[in-house]
Amino acid sequence: MSTRYGNFFLLIAVSVFFIAGCTKDGPQGPQGPQGPAGADATVYYSEWFSPVAWSGASGDWYFAANAPDLTENIVENGVVLAYAWLTGDVYGGSAVRPLPANAVGANWSFLIHQYGSIEFTCDMFTIPSTSGNKFRFIAIPGTTPALKSATPGHPSAQELRNMTYREVCKLYNIPE
């Protein structure tokens, strides 16, 4: 019988200890780490689009797309990333390739030939397909925290270029 009372008093003592030790408000803890780089950044991105027609000649194909978000400030001070989804890719069309890339027997790239426009290029000998090949760009202004090298924990321009398409989309909450 004494073991029963002993356990009962032990339970009461432990309960009092826990209840007395709890407080509603405590001291403020240290500030947590900075949130993701893209949390409050204005980042521009295009929808996926296919070329209507390729211009050029064998080994030097290109098409231009209207891109009003590619202003002088973004092109000169920010980062422009471009991607391709190519028909006949060795990954079965499931891969989004950052440009420049070598795929489907050709080199694919992009350039900004004038502000407000982007040009995608391909060095295939035969004209590339206009159906199935899709292209997209993401423009990150130089004023975003991601591009300020003095901001710890945020990727630099080069680190952004080395990230996968999915990583960039996740960082800036861009729908894939």
3-class secondary structure per residue, 22-80: CCCCCCCCCCCCCCCCCCCCCCEECCCECCCCCEEECCEEEEEEECCCCCHHHHHHCEE
Structural domain contains residue 30: no
Distance CA 88, CA 105 (A): 10
On whether residue 65 sits in a domain, the answer given is: yes
DSSP 127: P
Asked whether residue 71 is assigned to any structural domain, the reply reads yes
Which pLDDT score is estimated for 168? Answer: 92
Residue 128 has pLDDT above 60, yes or no: yes
How far CA 159 is from CA of 57, 99, 140, 169, in Å, comes to 35, 15, 13, 14
pLDDT at residue 82 tops 60: yes
Query: Would you say residue 170 has pLDDT above 50?
Result: yes
Q: Which two tokens stand for residue 16?
A: 């009092």
Give the count of domains, the chain: 1
Mean pLDDT across 64-92:
90
Q: Is residue 20 part of a domain?
A: no
Residue 9 lies in a domain: no
Q: How far is CA 163 from the centre of its chain?
A: 7
Q: Is 34 part of a structural domain of the chain?
A: no
The pLDDT score that the predictor gives to residue 151 is: 54
Q: For 16-34, what is the mean pLDDT?
A: 48
Q: Which residues pair with 82 in a beta bridge?
A: 137
pLDDT (0 to 100) of residue 87: 84
Q: Work out the average pLDDT over 93-101.
A: 84
At 131, the pLDDT band (50, 70, 90 cuts) reads confident
Q: What pLDDT does residue 8 have?
A: 55
Containing structural domain, residue 139: 44-171
Residue 120 lies in a domain: yes
